[in-house]
């Protein structure tokens, strides 16, 4: 037991001596008597950095500005590309809008044209009805004298309407008699044309639009 106690004492004294020696060396280093970092390199601290000179600082500032300028140029290029893309899209939209306006204008004109044609057809229809009623009430010679100056299309339209009126009234049509009083060649042509029933389908250069109103 005494031996074990002696070993403990020796270990304890050794630790006390080491600790005391460490504190003493630290104090000597602090007072500047000795420099431990020279004896023990792992205790050496990083050497202080010397302050940058004015030229070095200016160079670093210049490099930083150049990098910022490069970034700004890149942003400027991106903005220019975006602006160009927007302009192209605006141009495309203007073209599409122009096409739409042209199509709308064309549609409006086509509708107006259809209305004019429908109005012209209605006017002609009314005029044909009026002339059919007038010729039906005239003496045959007077009626033939009037239709001699008409175009074949007008004569056919009026004669067809006269026959329709006579049929609706349950009367005998005088159209065949009027045709016999026309020159033979024209009477034959009028008869053939009336058999076709539709004046718009006539293979003739004379169309209803050329003479909207039968001559009197």
According to the model, what pLDDT value does residue 130 have?
92
- The pLDDT value recorded for residue 150 is 92
**3-state helix, strand and coil shares in percent for the chain, rounded to the nearest 5:** 80, 0, 20
Here the contacts of 108-116 (C-beta below 8 Å, separation 24 or greater) are none
Identify the pLDDT of residue 185.
92
pLDDT for position 206? 47
What does the pLDDT read at residue 199? 46
pTM of this structure = 0.45
Q: Where are the domains of the chain?
A: 2-43
pLDDT reported for residue 7: 76
pLDDT reported for residue 195: 82
The alpha carbon of residue 47 and the mean position of all alpha carbons in its chain are separated, in whole angstroms, by: 70
- Alpha-carbon distance of 163 to 139, in angstroms, equals 16
Give dist(CA 28, CA 159) in Å, integer: 144
Q: Mark the ranges of the chain whose per-residue pLDDT is less than 70.
A: 1-4, 27-29, 31-56, 197-216
Distance CA 114, CA 116 (A): 5
**What's the gap between Cα 36 and its chain centre?**
83
Distances from the Cα of 13 to the Cαs of 21, 23, 39, 195, in angstroms? 12, 15, 25, 147
């Amino acid at each position: 037991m005494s031996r074990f106690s002696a070993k403990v004492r020796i270990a304890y004294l050794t630790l006390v001596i080491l600790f005391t020696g460490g504190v003493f060396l630290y104090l000597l280093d602090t007072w500047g008597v000795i420099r431990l970092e020279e004896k023990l390199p792992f205790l050496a601290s990083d050497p202080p950095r010397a302050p940058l000179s004015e030229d070095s600082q200016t160079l670093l500032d210049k490099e930083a500005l150049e990098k910022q300028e490069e970034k700004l140029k890149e942003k400027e290029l991106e903005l220019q590309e975006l602006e160009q893309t927007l302009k192209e899209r605006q141009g495309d939209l203007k073209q599409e809008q122009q096409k739409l306006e042209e199509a709308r204008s064309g549609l409006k004109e086509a509708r107006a044209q259809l209305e004019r044609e429908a109005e012209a057809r209605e006017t002609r229809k009314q005029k044909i009805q009026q002339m059919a009623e007038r010729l039906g009430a005239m003496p045959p010679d007077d009626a033939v004298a009037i239709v001699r100056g008409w175009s074949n299309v007008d004569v056919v339209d009026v004669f067809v309407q006269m026959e329709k009126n006579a049929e609706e009234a349950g009367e005998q049509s005088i159209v065949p008699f009027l045709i016999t009083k026309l020159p033979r060649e024209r009477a034959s042509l009028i008869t053939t044309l009336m058999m076709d029933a539709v004046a718009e389908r006539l293979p003739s250069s004379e169309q209803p639009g050329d003479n909207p109103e039968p001559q009197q």
